[in-house]
Chain A
Amino acid sequence: KNQVEQSPQSLIILEGKNCTLQCNYTVSPFSNLRWYKQDTGRGPVSLTIMTFSENTKSNGRYTATLDADTKQSSLHITASQLSDSASYICVVSLQAGANNLFFGTGTRLTVIP
């Protein structure tokens, strides 16, 4: 069964600290993996995308890694800011079809001063 699991469900960190969010998936055949950021009351916004051959991708203070062999991805946030408070959703695509996306339930990150 194609599934995407994220951990932890929620996380609270102090401003300025780093954190790492995890995503494990069983989606096959794999096409790509995205991390989305969803601010409260808004729609998700794409942060990074990685294909099978890529094992790291950065977007400012966000760095995503992918291990296609173990089917694991992580999102590392460096020097967190209050504006990083949001839900982070891992989304994995199958190799066929524009609708073949599998969404994780997200990690709720709260950055406190």
Chain B
Amino acid sequence: DAEITQSPRHKITETGRQVTLACHQTWNHNNMFWYRQDLGHGLRLIHYSYGVQDTNKGEVSDGYSVSRSNTEDLPLTLESAASSQTSVYFCASSLGRGRVGETQYFGPGTRLLVL
């Protein structure tokens, strides 16, 4: 069955370290997204991609980067982890055929703790 996976599911790191969170989808979706979820906030968009070699900044992109070298993967990199980046991170994908507000399918999330 097609799916979207994230790894690792849990990560503890130290301030200043570079961290990469993986996201892999097998639906052949064009669009992929990274969100963070914190208490008291709705899901907030970090970065998104509409296809291979395309990346765009979202609402809270400072300190994060992404690259899209193939359709299936959109890794999220924290260049120098900060305690403020402790959060739960969700990857999502959508078909991407130009339809507005199409359904996004979410991964299971990665819980990141920055000490």
Verify if A89 is at the interface (C-beta below 8 Å from B). yes
- The residue that B100 contacts in the complex, of A93, A104, A105, with Cβ under 8 A, is A93
Question: Do residues B100 and A98 form an inter-chain contact, with CB atoms below 8 A?
Answer: yes
From B42, B45, B56, B102, contact of A4 by CB (8 A): B42
**1/0 per residue B28-52: CB within 8 Å of A?**
0001010000001111110010100
Interface footprint category on B: 20 to 34
B77-114 CB contact bits vs A (8 Å, 1 = yes)?
Answer: 00000000000001010101000111110111100000
Task: Please give, as numbers and ranges, the residues of chain A lying within 8 Å of B16 by CB-CB distance.
Answer: none
**Which A residues lie within 8 Å of B109 (CB)?**
41-43
A99 to chain B: closest residue by CB: B48
Q: Which residues of B contact A (CB under 8 A)?
A: 31, 33, 40-45, 48, 50, 56, 58, 90, 92, 94, 96, 100-104, 106-109
